[in-house]
Structure 1
Amino acid sequence: MPPAAETVLDEVDGKEGTGGTAQDPRARARGPRSPLVAGPLSAAVLTAVLLCLATRLSRSYPFGPVTRNVVDLGQQYLPFHSYWRAFLRGETQGDAFLNWNSGFGSNFLGDIGTYLSSPFDLLVVFFPADRVELALYVVTAAKITAAGAAMALLLLRMRPGPWPVAALLGTAYALSGWTFNLGASVPMWLDGLVAFPLLCLVGEWARTGRRPVLGPLVVALAWIANFYTAYMATVGAAVVLLVRLLTTEETATARQRLTAALRAARGVLIGIGLAAPLVVVVFLGTKGADPTPVVPFAPAAWQEVVARFLPATASLASPALFIGTPALALTLTLPFNRAVAPRVRAGWTAAVVLVTLSLQWEPTHLLWHAGASPNGGPYRQTFVLCGLLIVGGWFSAARGVPRPAALLGGGALLGALALAARGSVDIDPWTYPAFGIAAALVLAAVLVALLGERRNTARVLPVLAVALLLAAQAGEAAVTGKRIEERQRAEVAWSPRIGPWHTAVAEEAARADAWPRHRTDPGEVPGGNDVLVVGGQGPDYYSSLTSEITSRTLASLGFGFYAKGRHPVTLDNPVTDALFSIGTRIRSTPTGPVRQDALPRATVSAATRPVPPLVTVRPAGRPATHPGDSAFARQERLLGADVYELPPVTRTGRTLTARCPAGSQVWFWGPEYRGGATLAGERPVHFEGKPPAVQAPMRTLGTVPGSGAVRIELTPEAERGLPRQPVGCLLQDRLDSAVRQLTATGATEVSTTGHTVTARLPQGSTGTAVLAAPRISGWRCAAGDAEPRPARAYQGLVAVPLDGRAASVTCSFRPPGLTLGGAVGAAALLALLATWALHRRGAAWPRRRAAR
């Protein structure tokens, strides 16, 4: 690189390895032309342009008609951001503690801390309600752009060098394979991508004894934004700090290095403590969440690991290590680059190798994931390794173009990686063409840069070299983003864009809304977490914090679920409607197939029926209902009335036969069943059971004919057993009688605030008051003027004992961990203030001595 560029950076950043900020007055005068501004700014612009280009090439929204809503992006993040916008504008029925819309009442503070606590997420408030998808794309792009800028800034702070290369490497980090393969479809993890370089910068401050107050605040912000990936970023930043302490300031004593490490530890602990009011709530919410099946860690084959360094590769079963051929080539020259001090070469090379190996060893795999192997992609920490690769490349390139020997060594390793990846299942038809073109451009850039060093007057040559590297990096990033988006849409579950179907349901739900007199269930809408988008108060809810109590209670009553229990879905059943006070049910009929490249449309209707109030009273003693553990029997026990006929069922081959009262409604319950079920004379009904991931909800098959004969033909797609009682026949007159009884003895008036329910009861009510909400941890209730106590449970719902003296009950929800987190946060704030005071006192002491 041109010596002039190094001179400018030396003026700005001070001596190599000090991390200081001593600046020449002339450097300050340059202002915006400073490399510390130009590098991050250029990285941000380049990152944003390339991200949008990749989206455009894949024809994805907002630069094309095709949906981006793959898996959790459409089922979690889009609905949560839609609700977040409404919440910030004061348009929701719940508050920061409780979400009344989802799961019949869920812990919203936990969801805020998991999905919505990033400062970037506040941007959604500036978009109209029908542009939430655009808002989410802007949030995603802003996070990725900020990551590129933060990495460029970190590189220039760690080591002086040419800012165009720092900008290029910052972009390479932000648009890594991890970003395209994971981060872009799980936007909350992108906060970890931003946090890693910022936490490394905090480590630099601790190493040099600077910014003792700002450092903990940065740590706190990172952990508040997303504590899961912030934890990984913190571990990665600790690795970076360790290497820096061992490879810089050779004259420093062991005591000085230990002091720097203790300063860093103090800053991290204070920062995490400041984030505790939110982190503790999320942590305890995770502990109470529906557990997913344990998946033992199985390391990826090394051929697949090597293949992931190449462009246009995609997989969740191997680490996404693509950072671009230019950036990777620079990193691979580091071990051979004698212009870099031996200690620095050895330190960064060892860090990259050891962290790579740690991805493949189960004990360190568990360390990266806080002791719990994730149920899903096992390489979520890969962004940290991508960052280490970028830092290694910077140390090799910061002083100029590596010497020919280093270039040959790095080129040989690059070629070996490409050869070793041949035959990998992750290789895409675009992989080797993109890699070959990028490698050719890198070679051309190296030759031009070497020629430019020999001709110091030829200023155009260094610019041309950077332009060639930029072309290589940009082309590979755009191709990789395009192919990964296309492959994801073809290979994984997706949701359509928000369209007229959602709008029609939202309008109908708003017209029918009668909360808290009764609930309005929006029914099935394409996607997940439907009520967060369209309104209403249904069971549909998809979160990593879905309570085990919610999941198990609803599943036991015949509700279905996805995501191994963490995504309960609606159940169109009159008995459960009565149990959960669903007075209005919205039903949709699609007008055409749901497509990736079109907005979904449907005809929408609403039906209202009498249901008991949100708070009802159950008399003491066990109701006389059917025994057993079938969903039908559980519904009856919760309702307190016998409303089904449960006939003996005979199975002959693929035919079920039974007898029921004529005119009753036949319900089929096969939670693990996948296939069709057809009642004689009716249309077939399909079930989607696929344990353990998917449980099929019970569904009606039709009406029992006058003969009373029930004959059901099964067309299974997989051979799985049925429960002992798969058929129940609902007698509507019995249900109507039960509803009238519960209404007569239930609350005469129900009022709600953000996280509190108050119900007036008939005088002399005894037995148990039941709130139609799952008894998740955090509910406290009181009858009359009594002291609130942790709520009891009645068949999984919130319950309050009554003794005949109280004329009202009040239940309030407070997220578990809020008190403990607040106490830890207060202690951390005091520690931060003490640190600030000691730092000011220490800084003032030399000045006072000089004044004397």
Structure 2
Amino acid sequence: MPPAADTASARGEDAHDGGTTAPGAAGGDDGRSRASESGPHGPAGDRRSAGPSSPGGDPPAPVPGVPRGRPPRNAPGAPWRAPTAAALLSCLVFCLGGLLAGSYPFGPTTRNTVDLGQQYLPFHAYWRRLLLGETDGDLFLNWNSGFGSNFLGDYGTYLSSPFDLMVLLFPADRIELALYAVTVAKISAAAAAMALLLPRLRPGPWPVAAVLGTAYALCGWTLNYAATVPMWLDGLLAFPLLCLVGEWARAGRRPLLGPLVVAIAWYANFYTAYMATVGAAVVLFVRLCTADDGARRRLAGLLRAARSVLVGIGLAAPLIVVIFLATRVAQPTPETSFTAVPWPEVFARLLPATASVASPALFIGTPALALALTLPFNRAVAAGVRWAWTAAICLVALSMQWEPTHLLWHAGASPNGIPYRQTFVLCGLLLIAAWLSTASGPPRTPALLGAGTLLTVLTLSSLGNPVVDRWTYPAFAAALALVVLAAAALLLARHRAAGARVLPAAAVVLLVLAQAGETAITGARIERQQLSRVSWSPRLGPWHTDTAEATASKDAWPRYRTDPGEVPGGNDVLLVGGQGADYYSSLTSEVLSGTLTSLGFGSYAKGRHPVSLDNPVTDALFSVGTRIRSTPSAPPRTDRLPEAAVTVTDTPVPPLVTVRPGLRPTAHGFRHGASAFDNQEALLGADVYEVPAAPRRANGPRGAVTLTVGCPAGAQVWFWAPRYRGTAVLGDRRPVAFAGGPPSVMAPMGRLGTVPDSGEVRIVLRPAGKLVLPERPVGCLVEERLTTAVEAATATGATSVRTSGHTLTAELPPGSTGTAVVAVPRISGWTCAAGDADPVPARSHLGLIAVPLDGTQTTVGCSFRPPGLRLGGAVGAAALLCLLATALRHRFLRRTGRVHPACTSGTSGGN
């Protein structure tokens, strides 16, 4: 070990840009491991005795104006220069990309495409209201969505990140801006975390760490995927933080902070945190293999890392177990078989302005990519380090293209939609490679030539690929030109003392311009491509405001439900209030989806997004007493958001809890293949439809098909064909559109008009594709029968209903017998009791909560507790005990002097 390193270790000082460390930490290693990584002559950045014939390779030439070796320990703010600069730069570049794209909040174009507008924005709006105490439910139960849904599972999936508390800083009508601010804050934090990690792996100049941290936070994965899926950005932040936990474990430092960091990462978003943990394990493995440590020390570091991960995951278990169990009972999605994309397309995704959801978004910027490609050829880095990191990156890239390891990255289940969700880990590894090759000085000419050759091969292999944008090669060429100018400035500075300060500064400026400019253009082009393909989720505006005001004026929950109908977007009730069926979540229960589909409700997203059904029978079944209907009042201008014509309709409906004398709850659901009309009658307990036998068909011109049936005069004609896409017309009335067809979309039952006096119903269908109809697609609702059924259910139903948070209590008429049916889906977690009996798991009647009655009870009470909460709490308590035991042990060792001085210093080992 060089004497200077001995001295630094004895003082507990850092071997990099600020901070303190213990031997084996930061810079990651003690003197021996640093020698292993940089050659036999000490750190690559501090080779005072190495010459051209050194076994470690040619030493890097000094960069004029950039101090070599360790910076002064007392430099003010030294440890935070790189993270601060990276956070500010990433924020600026991301916003610049939005400005160039003309998207919100810098332009009139919405960012709310697909799930950003349908899921994440409404959930954040509801989260703000919940935090302010303005909702009917609590953290356990959401009374507004899906007629009552498990909110704790949704919270853990979409809202558990600490950053999501930022919604409180914005008014209710600026929730889009709040979500954008959350997105920017997460990206900036990820940039800062990577910039904080890199100097811990090897000392180096903070401006380069800042640029590479920005490159990581604004990689193609962020711009193409995560910028519109803000929960995934927590994984982007988790990866460098978990790598830091690995570094602390290697050095035996921060035994308390490490598990807490893991816990926060998994609590914020366990899905991407899992991928980040796998990636951090790869980094730790390479670090252990390349360090000049004994087997015992390596094993100890590995065990400490495993302890931190297990305890941290255990601390987050109360939420993770709830999500896991909610996933098991969620509406299943069709199985997806993984198909690897061709390698030329993978290489093309390294270039700027490429976009696709079917291939890995590997863009990290041409400057950063060029630096990463120099590592295999950079003889200034020890051979073992070069080849270990190169092999790790190649193996991770290969693992993304092989189905068994693809499943490993995704916890055993191939995802629907974007298949390469782990790409941010590979981007992070590439940027670590760029840092290791550059931290001790600019790569020399042979390394630059090798990288240039690889870059040329990658570029040529991408020619003609469909993911390449018209801006790809111009942006790439411009960035590459700036990189060449920066390299020339550094080469010139080596031979001209006159430019010792100006030229290196100019090189840094050129590097920043190249990276930032190319990234901003890439972000803008990707956003424009996304908006051009899917732009049907509008911004919030007058339509939502008017509907919300109408809903609030009529809300009488829990006396009855108020359904706001469908407004643009999704999860409408979370945006405008009410208690409807509309609900879009990855955790939509199979019970809810199956029950509503069987009753004629429509759905999107393979059943995970049931939508409202405007039907008087289902309104009676679910106690929807007020229905809001809204339509655009006029076509919107390009500079104005659409307004809506809002109408409010009140209808007498039974209470939320009805009593069915003589009914015994059914343990099963609806009969498979039964008509939605039959299912509605079965749940209502009355015959209200005339459902004709299979209609007569007659083919007409231009693919039209005419259906003819007979029904009672004056009845309402309802058409039910969940797989039908096209229009249906009754007589001379206006066509009604149906949007079924693909497996992911089910069309809701629709009203066509009134049966004429002749009793003959002729429906003309104009299908947009293959005609797929159920056996009995037509039902005629006799309104007098429905009125009688509603009056009977009201007479025997609950006299009052109260709800609070996640509980429901109903007062029943004396002597009630049979079964009390609660108009709430019987999802997992409900317990009920009649009278003073002990609560038991709720029974089900055709998908709704059912409570047997014997005539002696006058009350029914139900309570919801998310499944897994008790088990997760037990695991979390055990993990907390382990953490406390670790704290006591660490305190004891400090008192007895058995901990290295660096581990007891306030800035290094303290927690």
Taking structure 2 as the reference length, the TM-score comes to: 0.90
Distance 2:744 2:658 in 1: 34
Displacement of 1:605 in angstroms is 1.1
Q: Is the 8 A contact 2:602 2:722 kept in 1?
A: yes
1:622 to 1:758, Cα distance in 2 relative to 1, 3 A: closer
Q: Secondary structure at the match of 1:156?
A: helix
Letter of the structure 2 residue corresponding to residue 204 of structure 1: E
**Could you tell me the percent identity over the aligned residues?**
67
Letter of the structure 1 residue corresponding to residue 774 of structure 2: P
Consecutive unaligned residues of structure 1, counting only runs of 5 or more, are: 1-6
Residue 793 of structure 1 is matched in structure 2 by 844
Residue 165 of structure 1 is matched in structure 2 by 208
Letter of the structure 2 residue corresponding to residue 30 of structure 1: A
Distance 2:154 2:229 in 1: 14
The yes-or-no answer on 1:642 pairing with 2:692 is no
Displacement of 1:450 in angstroms is 1.7
Letter of the structure 2 residue corresponding to residue 319 of structure 1: P
Distance 1:98 1:603 in 2: 32
* Alignment counterpart, residue 502 of structure 1, candidates 544, 555, 565: 544
Residue 431 of structure 1 is matched in structure 2 by 472
Letter of the structure 2 residue corresponding to residue 89 of structure 1: L
Q: Is the 8 A contact 1:496 1:598 kept in 2?
A: no
Distance 2:458 2:719 in 1: 56
Moved more, 828-837 or 592-601: 592-601
Displacement of 1:157 in angstroms is 1.3
Residue 654 of structure 2 is matched in structure 1 by 612
Q: Is the 8 A contact 1:16 1:160 kept in 2?
A: no
Distance 2:451 2:891 in 1: 48
Q: Secondary structure at the match of 1:584?
A: strand
Letter of the structure 1 residue corresponding to residue 444 of structure 2: R
Residue 768 of structure 1 is matched in structure 2 by 819
The yes-or-no answer on 1:338 pairing with 2:338 is no
Displacement of 1:215 in angstroms is 0.2
Residue 752 of structure 2 is matched in structure 1 by 701
1:612 to 1:12, Cα distance in 2 relative to 1, 3 A: closer
Q: Is the 8 A contact 1:765 1:803 kept in 2?
A: yes
Displacement of 1:303 in angstroms is 1.0
Letter of the structure 2 residue corresponding to residue 462 of structure 1: P
Distance 1:283 1:355 in 2: 27
Residue 726 of structure 1 is matched in structure 2 by 777
Q: Is the 8 A contact 1:223 1:272 kept in 2?
A: yes
The yes-or-no answer on 1:667 pairing with 2:718 is yes
Distance 1:595 1:652 in 2: 43
Residue 282 of structure 2 is matched in structure 1 by 239
1:622 to 1:779, Cα distance in 2 relative to 1, 3 A: closer
Distance 2:723 2:898 in 1: 76
Where do 1:293-304 residues align within 5 Å? 293-304=334-345
1:25 to 1:397, Cα distance in 2 relative to 1, 3 A: closer
* Alignment counterpart, residue 129 of structure 2, candidates 58, 65, 86: 86
Displacement of 1:758 in angstroms is 0.2
User: How big is each residue's C-alpha offset from its partner over 1:648-667, in whole Å with a ceiling of 9 and x where there is no partner?
Assistant: 21112210001111111000
Distance 1:744 1:484 in 2: 59
1:849 to 1:620, Cα distance in 2 relative to 1, 3 A: closer
Letter of the structure 2 residue corresponding to residue 318 of structure 1: S
Q: Is the 8 A contact 2:15 2:26 kept in 1?
A: no
The yes-or-no answer on 1:355 pairing with 2:400 is no
1:597 to 1:71, Cα distance in 2 relative to 1, 3 A: farther
User: How big is each residue's C-alpha offset from its partner over 1:621-666, in whole Å with a ceiling of 9 and x where there is no partner?
Assistant: 489x999710000000000000000112111221000111111100
Moved more, 583-592 or 90-99: 583-592
Where do 1:238-387 residues align within 5 Å? 238-248=281-291, 250=292, 252-387=293-428
Q: Secondary structure at the match of 2:316?
A: helix
Q: Is the 8 A contact 1:9 1:162 kept in 2?
A: no
Distance 2:289 2:397 in 1: 20
Residue 85 of structure 2 is matched in structure 1 by 42
Residue 747 of structure 1 is matched in structure 2 by 798
Q: Secondary structure at the match of 2:852?
A: strand
Q: Is the 8 A contact 1:74 1:495 kept in 2?
A: yes
Taking structure 1 as the reference length, the TM-score comes to: 0.96
Displacement of 1:30 in angstroms is 2.6
Q: Is the 8 A contact 1:13 1:157 kept in 2?
A: no
Q: Is the 8 A contact 2:266 2:273 kept in 1?
A: yes
Q: Is the 8 A contact 1:671 1:697 kept in 2?
A: yes
Q: Is the 8 A contact 1:97 1:109 kept in 2?
A: yes
Consecutive unaligned residues of structure 2, counting only runs of 5 or more, are: 1-13, 31-68, 700-704, 902-911
Distance 1:263 1:770 in 2: 54
User: How big is each residue's C-alpha offset from its partner over 1:794-829, in whole Å with a ceiling of 9 and x where there is no partner?
Assistant: 110011011111101001100000000000000000
Letter of the structure 2 residue corresponding to residue 431 of structure 1: T
Q: Is the 8 A contact 1:541 1:569 kept in 2?
A: yes
Q: Secondary structure at the match of 1:676?
A: strand
Residue 4 of structure 1 is matched in structure 2 by none
Q: Secondary structure at the match of 1:687?
A: strand
The yes-or-no answer on 1:395 pairing with 2:436 is yes
Residue 259 of structure 2 is matched in structure 1 by 216
Residue 833 of structure 2 is matched in structure 1 by 782
* Alignment counterpart, residue 475 of structure 1, candidates 504, 509, 517: 517
Displacement of 1:845 in angstroms is 2.0
* Alignment counterpart, residue 147 of structure 2, candidates 84, 87, 104: 104
User: How big is each residue's C-alpha offset from its partner over 1:561-605, in whole Å with a ceiling of 9 and x where there is no partner?
Assistant: 000000000000000000000000000021234688642321111
Q: Is the 8 A contact 2:727 2:737 kept in 1?
A: yes
Matched pairs, number: 839
Displacement of 1:211 in angstroms is 0.1
* Alignment counterpart, residue 698 of structure 2, candidates 652, 669, 673: 652
Residue 551 of structure 1 is matched in structure 2 by 593
Q: Is the 8 A contact 2:24 2:251 kept in 1?
A: no
* Alignment counterpart, residue 731 of structure 2, candidates 666, 671, 680: 680
Residue 228 of structure 1 is matched in structure 2 by 271
Displacement of 1:526 in angstroms is 0.1
Residue 565 of structure 2 is matched in structure 1 by 523
1:484 to 1:25, Cα distance in 2 relative to 1, 3 A: closer
1:669 to 1:163, Cα distance in 2 relative to 1, 3 A: same
Distance 1:843 1:14 in 2: 16
Q: Is the 8 A contact 1:67 1:596 kept in 2?
A: no
Q: Is the 8 A contact 1:590 1:602 kept in 2?
A: yes
Q: Secondary structure at the match of 2:849?
A: strand
Q: Is the 8 A contact 2:27 2:201 kept in 1?
A: no
Distance 2:238 2:899 in 1: 38
Distance 1:12 1:621 in 2: 72
Displacement of 1:15 in angstroms is 10
User: How big is each residue's C-alpha offset from its partner over 1:235-283, in whole Å with a ceiling of 9 and x where there is no partner?
Assistant: 00000000011112x1x11111011001000000000000000010001
* Alignment counterpart, residue 26 of structure 2, candidates 9, 14, 19: 19
Displacement of 1:691 in angstroms is 3.0
Displacement of 1:14 in angstroms is 6.9
User: How big is each residue's C-alpha offset from its partner over 1:52-102, in whole Å with a ceiling of 9 and x where there is no partner?
Assistant: 100111111111111000111000000000000000000000000000000
Displacement of 1:167 in angstroms is 0.2
Distance 2:595 2:22 in 1: 64
Distance 1:17 1:670 in 2: 68
Q: Secondary structure at the match of 1:425?
A: coil
Q: Is the 8 A contact 2:399 2:406 kept in 1?
A: yes
Distance 1:849 1:349 in 2: 34
Q: Secondary structure at the match of 1:394?
A: helix
The yes-or-no answer on 1:450 pairing with 2:491 is yes
Residue 60 of structure 2 is matched in structure 1 by none
1:549 to 1:410, Cα distance in 2 relative to 1, 3 A: same
Letter of the structure 1 residue corresponding to residue 583 of structure 2: Y
Q: Is the 8 A contact 1:672 1:722 kept in 2?
A: yes
Distance 1:318 1:849 in 2: 48
1:25 to 1:462, Cα distance in 2 relative to 1, 3 A: closer
1:8 to 1:229, Cα distance in 2 relative to 1, 3 A: closer
Residue 34 of structure 2 is matched in structure 1 by none
Distance 1:701 1:575 in 2: 16
